[in-house]
Chains A and B, each alone.
Chain A
């Protein structure tokens, strides 16, 4: 009956309207548009100017369309009208637009009632009409499109949400407006189906002002959320009265409530209110983010839902127009109906042949402390494409391809870095003092002699295929690394294990003789060749990491391909292309996955560091610098000065020192006084101020400070007067009698400059003549002084100091029993602090007492880190702890 009446009413309107309006019929319109040279028009009908951002959204899309060349050489011109919630003026506008033969589409008429009336006119005039009323399609027909999520879809999603949020008892309140009644009923049906308990269901008149009776009834019931379906006016009255009566449960509303009027009238009482919406401004999709950005740039305000909707309408039309290469309404109509689905800024749209254009995603915004927060935003992330979503992706730069993702072979900093994200090591290093900390190993203990270690492993570590990671995986990995051909680069770090070297050389065939014993799946013993208190620092190296034996046996060398790789670290590899990028995503099976905040890491492979800097400045990279993409030295000064970078400049220390070494076999530097005199005139401040900008001066020790527990002071200070005295004591008065000093220069330009400066300083302060020669690699070098960079191969003073002493011995010819004794004591010393004191003594002998080495500076890493990256830290030994960082929304 109702339907018949409606149809009758519509016919009445139709005749009324057509009788007094002379509209351009669809045939005339088609004929006109085909031949006309005019620009084309799109009608925009909003309610009240500036009440929403709708018009701006439409304008933005039209501007973008026009600047990209329009359609078929024509520009699109929006005709903007406001109906001021007045039916008469809405119809007037509709007839005006229908009368204009250049109009191809109309968007708007937000009141469903007027929309229906207007739709009849547009249909007759052959104009594509897109509006929001649900009832719009009830009478069907060409040219008419409805743009709202279908009611069933809508309530389905809301009930799902309520269930997920663990609300079990619901009260439904709705007004008796036709549409709302149906919506509430649908909701009821869905809820019952999903076994949600409805404890209260009441309706009220749309014009009701006093809800106290209703609410007192409600108050007697038990419920934990209210589903409220009514207009904004009633909603604000109802909620205010509800809060007055101290009903404080959360309320979930519908989009009808989400108006400026409602929020301003309800104010603080709206606290906790949840509104389902189609638009989530922080939706991590490129389309959405681009829209939000360009909208705020264009209009200086954030877009709202209706603006995004308006923007999408035009973009949809534009896509169809480009696809069909036509702007005729008839073609647009069929185009939209047969499109199926389409990506807009709201979300993906489902398009039906009946004329439904409905966004597929629903978000829930909660009014919390005076602002909206979005619930469940992260669950919506799409996994199937590699579209860059800035908000959740850490964008890094590396200069080189990732040489390997096999931890056994990782040797360069980039490989170590990527492996660290993919695989757990037995131990990992503290970023402050490089001390080993638990990673896969939970704890470890050494025997009295410090030559055997027991490691207890984590039981909650799994490979990405779900299999557990056990002690056997470590044994398998170490055995493979030992026998691997070609050799793994860090093989020497395995030789500390008993019989490892012999097994590697093939002298022992029986693998069981290797110094590792599996006690149980999660306990492991290591036997060492000699005491080494620093062994836990060794096990932080990737060469000790567990490997997925099955995957490696199955795929061979191909096992590190994204599709084959099995990992166990905080991230997993999803994409890698040489010379392009590697994409890592959060590993859900990682034992501490809930604490990993950054969803995705993207290593962009960019060889040119100038480009890297440029990309950083244009905010396309989050972190540059360090060992991964070195900031060019001559740019460091600028970077530290320019306002756009200077606040993001960070630095850290590598475990590396540049130093001069004396060849004490050569006269006259066999004389310790002369060596000290030379060391005292090498002005480190001068070198760091004039040549090596930004490096940390090695003022106090040879060993980088980070490896030392105490602040020691063993280096000779710049003091030319003392130097001259010492030289005189050494028997060389005023340098005249001193033979020429030969200095081997370095391979890099900076080292060459430093050598030049040293030569000039010797001349100036001691009047010693020097000769600079090219670096010689032969063991019998005739030079007196050589510049060299000393690196640690694992982060411990032992590696740095003792290795440097041993490795440079062929040049320095310096042998010290004292150092050997100190070292023997050190490797047996359990306490790191006491051990470091012994190493400090070695440092002191090398630098001060015997003056074999003259440290110049510690190698320094320079970084630029965008301010949104929180918790950033520099790892001196590569392998950043990205799993503990966060990206902050700005």
Chain B
């Protein structure tokens, strides 16, 4: 009877608990938030879709892992437009029918976006575009936001760059007949007229219907017949551009070639290699080929380094430009979602999202994305300084001269003089000031004397600066140097053909680091070198990390082994010598190392394992001999204390290994108490109770140990 009561009470309790859990998970659980990703996921262009999705998914996963948006998880709904116009319209219609969708990321192609955007606008659905560059896409659509600059802006920027950097007087443009080519053509002509660049030759290509190989000869002929052409502007798609470049160079057309974002894509680089093979042309064809992009990983910051690492861990791939931009698109979308109240009707929410996106409107009101600060102009377009890149064998690297965006207030003082000197260019109400790139790479990196008490380390390395124009090594300030390190005399100066110079210095100094040994001995530590030009802000010098190949480094210590390194650039606001706030470029190189499995660590764990075993043996000793076991355990306690004191690293906080000792105290203490109880019960002659408790102890102890191991593993891998 009693038993029945106990069982039924237990049953009721469990049911109540279950109902309670169900109630909370079902009724009070937050609803999901849906975002549509519209792209081509099948057919010829399915790769684009998967790249986009990788980037977006990564950001969404990160947000969901930290609790989503006010407790609601974000879910992606995938819509495949197949890269066709009809597909895009169909997809757009089904997206707007779904009342749960808050906004759309997409579409990939300008043509698809052009057709889908009016559907979104009509149904008041905000959309964020990350890849379509067609000019008027956002202009007549209040609900479309684009996080990359449009064609005209790119071409204007490139044209202004060509004029001011190469003093171009005559240009030739080869353009595709489609929307992409003609919009580039239009803006190129306009800007060229403004900058007084003559365009004696305009060649149109019908990429859909003709074979370029046949045209190529004709084109070469035309270019060779027209005198004094300084520059060829390619307003063509990636594949055709690659083909044309190889053919032009093969036929000795050695003019500077510039092209917009199509030429910055990885497809272009791959095609170039393919055409080079096809035409068996191995000459140095790449000199003097320039393109623009809104992002270059050599100029990216820590956020990108972390992103690339996570991306690599997840997909085992390097992130492409498109997945990086898609990640930013997701970032913008979710930031807008985070700032609004979701518990409204879907129309109100979408309207709020739109208003929230409109609140990002300048450098100070923006989202700090991987591709730089993201904000929108009146039309919902993004216009910021582009990075001009030069083609090298392994891909594009930033050009020595760049233009960075500045506010009018910063340059108002002698804007006229600087404008006439062409050190400032203006485009669409924005001002860009000419700046010089300094490429930095570290080599022969050696670290030793890594001291965790003083948080310092000793480093010896070669630092290589590649610059064009003035360079003041004296200005270079190592941010984390314990004692000032001054770059005085370079070991070597190399003068290059293109007027650039390479300076090599050897640095030997003590640097500080942020040591965190909470996970010791399973920790990884980062030694970093950070530097800045303390007198020249970003409008005078802009660093670029040469990180195509990671820098290897050596550690003169048996405690640590090198893991990997990366380098990145951060832009920091600082007060200048004149008391103004300015932005400075900072170079960072991070070297990550891991604790080696040394004898000391073995010594640390071996006794602990032995103790665990010894204590466990104690559970099996007959109760009559329990007093011996207690004495052994007390001895173990003393030895444990000794080892704890011996390995104590005198840090102000408890680290992982110390927790193990504390746990050991507890284990032994527990066992001693347990045995003491057993002994008491035994003396009271409660044989049955003694037997039961003993069995419980024998089962409980290993469970306790196993749990601890699992928890420790979790902590080590997650903290």
A and B are partners in one complex rather than unrelated chains: yes
Separation in Å of the B55 CB from the closest CB of chain A?
27
Which segment, of A101-109, A639-647, A737-745, faces chain B? A639-647
- B358, B359, B420: the one contacting A760 at CB < 8 Å is B420
**Those of B349-407 within 8 Å (CB) of chain A:** 355, 358-359, 361-362, 377-378
Judging by beta carbons under 8 Å apart, are B420 and A686 in contact? yes
Which segment, of B411-419, B518-526, B574-582, B654-662, faces chain A? B411-419
CA distance A756 to B358 in the complex (A): 38
A751 interface residue, CB < 8 Å from B? Answer: no
- B416, B424, B429: the one contacting A693 at CB < 8 Å is B429
B563 interface residue, CB < 8 Å from A? Answer: no
Which segment, of A111-119, A466-474, A575-583, A712-720, faces chain B? A712-720
User: Which A residues touch B429, using CB under 8 A?
Assistant: 637, 640, 693
Judging by beta carbons under 8 Å apart, are B194 and A690 in contact? no
CA distance A698 to B417 in the complex (A): 22
A286 interface residue, CB < 8 Å from B? Answer: no
CA distance A736 to B266 in the complex (A): 52
Contact A719-B196, Cβ < 8 Å, known A641-B377, A686-B419, A761-B420: yes
A7 interface residue, CB < 8 Å from B? Answer: no
- A643, A647, A693, A760: the one contacting B417 at CB < 8 Å is A760
CA distance A270 to B512 in the complex (A): 80
- B361, B416, B426: the one contacting A753 at CB < 8 Å is B416
Contact A689-B358, Cβ < 8 Å, known A718-B196, A720-B196: no
User: Which A residues touch B378, using CB under 8 A?
Assistant: 640-641, 646-647, 649
Judging by beta carbons under 8 Å apart, are B416 and A760 in contact? yes
Separation in Å of the A711 CB from the closest CB of chain B?
16
Contact A718-B417, Cβ < 8 Å, known A643-B361, A647-B378: no
User: Which A residues touch B426, using CB under 8 A?
Assistant: 689-690
CA distance A764 to B355 in the complex (A): 47
CA distance A647 to B376 in the complex (A): 13
A508 interface residue, CB < 8 Å from B? Answer: no
User: Which B residues touch A650, using CB under 8 A?
Assistant: none
Separation in Å of the A277 CB from the closest CB of chain B?
27
Of residues B359, B377, B416, B429, which shows the largest number of chain A Cβ atoms within 10 Å of its Cβ? B416
Judging by beta carbons under 8 Å apart, are B358 and A643 in contact? yes
User: Which A residues touch B644, using CB under 8 A?
Assistant: none
B302 interface residue, CB < 8 Å from A? Answer: no
A685 interface residue, CB < 8 Å from B? Answer: yes
A721 interface residue, CB < 8 Å from B? Answer: yes
Separation in Å of the B413 CB from the closest CB of chain A?
12
Judging by beta carbons under 8 Å apart, are B420 and A646 in contact? no
- A647, A720, A756: the one contacting B416 at CB < 8 Å is A756
Residue of A nearest to B191 (CB): A685
B193 interface residue, CB < 8 Å from A? Answer: yes
User: Which B residues touch A756, using CB under 8 A?
Assistant: 416
Judging by beta carbons under 8 Å apart, are B419 and A642 in contact? no
Judging by beta carbons under 8 Å apart, are B361 and A642 in contact? yes
B408 interface residue, CB < 8 Å from A? Answer: yes
Q: How many residues of A contact B (CB 8 A)?
A: 25
CA distance A273 to B424 in the complex (A): 68
Interface bracket on B? 20 to 34
A375 interface residue, CB < 8 Å from B? Answer: no
Separation in Å of the B373 CB from the closest CB of chain A?
14
Separation in Å of the B352 CB from the closest CB of chain A?
13
Judging by beta carbons under 8 Å apart, are B196 and A721 in contact? yes
B169 interface residue, CB < 8 Å from A? Answer: yes
**Those of B456-481 within 8 Å (CB) of chain A:** none
A757 interface residue, CB < 8 Å from B? Answer: yes
Contact A685-B194, Cβ < 8 Å, known A646-B378, A690-B416, A693-B429: yes
B 476-515 binary contact with A (CB < 8 Å = 1; else 0):
0000000000000000000000000000000000000000
Separation in Å of the A647 CB from the closest CB of chain B?
7
User: Which B residues touch A764, using CB under 8 A?
Assistant: 420
User: Which B residues touch A643, using CB under 8 A?
Assistant: 355, 358-359, 361
Judging by beta carbons under 8 Å apart, are B194 and A718 in contact? yes
Judging by beta carbons under 8 Å apart, are B169 and A721 in contact? yes
Separation in Å of the B166 CB from the closest CB of chain A?
16
User: Which A residues touch B417, using CB under 8 A?
Assistant: 760
Separation in Å of the B199 CB from the closest CB of chain A?
13
A51 interface residue, CB < 8 Å from B? Answer: no
User: Which A residues touch B362, using CB under 8 A?
Assistant: 641
User: Which B residues touch A685, using CB under 8 A?
Assistant: 194
Judging by beta carbons under 8 Å apart, are B359 and A757 in contact? no
**Those of A718-739 within 8 Å (CB) of chain B:** 718-721
Judging by beta carbons under 8 Å apart, are A757 and B420 in contact? yes
User: Which A residues touch B193, using CB under 8 A?
Assistant: 717
A 1-25 binary contact with B (CB < 8 Å = 1; else 0):
0000000000000000000000000
Separation in Å of the A312 CB from the closest CB of chain B?
31
A776 interface residue, CB < 8 Å from B? Answer: no
B 603-642 binary contact with A (CB < 8 Å = 1; else 0):
0000000000000000000000000000000000000000
Residue of B nearest to A719 (CB): B196
Of residues A641, A691, A721, which shows the largest number of chain B Cβ atoms within 10 Å of its Cβ? A641
Of residues B194, B408, B417, which shows the largest number of chain A Cβ atoms within 10 Å of its Cβ? B194
User: Which A residues touch B196, using CB under 8 A?
Assistant: 718-721
Of residues A641, A647, A689, A719, which shows the largest number of chain B Cβ atoms within 10 Å of its Cβ? A689
User: Which A residues touch B419, using CB under 8 A?
Assistant: 686, 689-690, 757
Residue of A nearest to B424 (CB): A690
CA distance A752 to B426 in the complex (A): 21
User: Which A residues touch B355, using CB under 8 A?
Assistant: 643
User: Which A residues touch B358, using CB under 8 A?
Assistant: 643
**Those of B59-94 within 8 Å (CB) of chain A:** none
CA distance A686 to B169 in the complex (A): 17
- A646, A649, A718, A760: the one contacting B361 at CB < 8 Å is A646
Contact A641-B361, Cβ < 8 Å, known A690-B426, A717-B193, A720-B196: yes
A 629-663 binary contact with B (CB < 8 Å = 1; else 0):
00000000100111100110100000000000000
CA distance A685 to B415 in the complex (A): 14
B 545-569 binary contact with A (CB < 8 Å = 1; else 0):
0000000000000000000000000
A 652-694 binary contact with B (CB < 8 Å = 1; else 0):
0000000000000000000000000000000001100111010
User: Which B residues touch A691, using CB under 8 A?
Assistant: 415-416
B 177-196 binary contact with A (CB < 8 Å = 1; else 0):
00000000000000001101
Residue of B nearest to A722 (CB): B196
Separation in Å of the B343 CB from the closest CB of chain A?
11
Judging by beta carbons under 8 Å apart, are B408 and A637 in contact? yes
Residue of A nearest to B425 (CB): A689
B 261-286 binary contact with A (CB < 8 Å = 1; else 0):
00000000000000000000000000
B 317-331 binary contact with A (CB < 8 Å = 1; else 0):
000000000000000
Separation in Å of the A688 CB from the closest CB of chain B?
9
CA distance A761 to B417 in the complex (A): 10
CA distance A718 to B197 in the complex (A): 10
User: Which B residues touch A721, using CB under 8 A?
Assistant: 169, 196
Judging by beta carbons under 8 Å apart, are B361 and A690 in contact? no
Separation in Å of the A687 CB from the closest CB of chain B?
9
Residue of B nearest to A753 (CB): B416
CA distance A641 to B361 in the complex (A): 6
User: Which A residues touch B377, using CB under 8 A?
Assistant: 641
User: Which B residues touch A693, using CB under 8 A?
Assistant: 429
Given contacts A641-B361, A646-B361, A693-B429, 18 further A-B contacts (CB under 8 A): A637-B408, A640-B429, A641-B377, A641-B378, A643-B359, A643-B361, A649-B378, A685-B194, A686-B419, A689-B426, A690-B416, A690-B426, A691-B415, A721-B196, A756-B416, A757-B416, A760-B416, A760-B420
- Can you name 26 A-B pairs with beta carbons within 8 Å? A637-B429, A640-B429, A641-B362, A643-B358, A643-B359, A643-B361, A646-B378, A647-B378, A649-B378, A686-B419, A689-B419, A690-B415, A690-B419, A690-B424, A690-B426, A691-B416, A718-B194, A718-B196, A720-B196, A721-B169, A721-B196, A753-B416, A756-B416, A757-B416, A757-B419, A764-B420
Which 4 residue pairs spanning A and B have beta carbons closest together? A689-B426, A690-B419, A643-B358, A685-B194
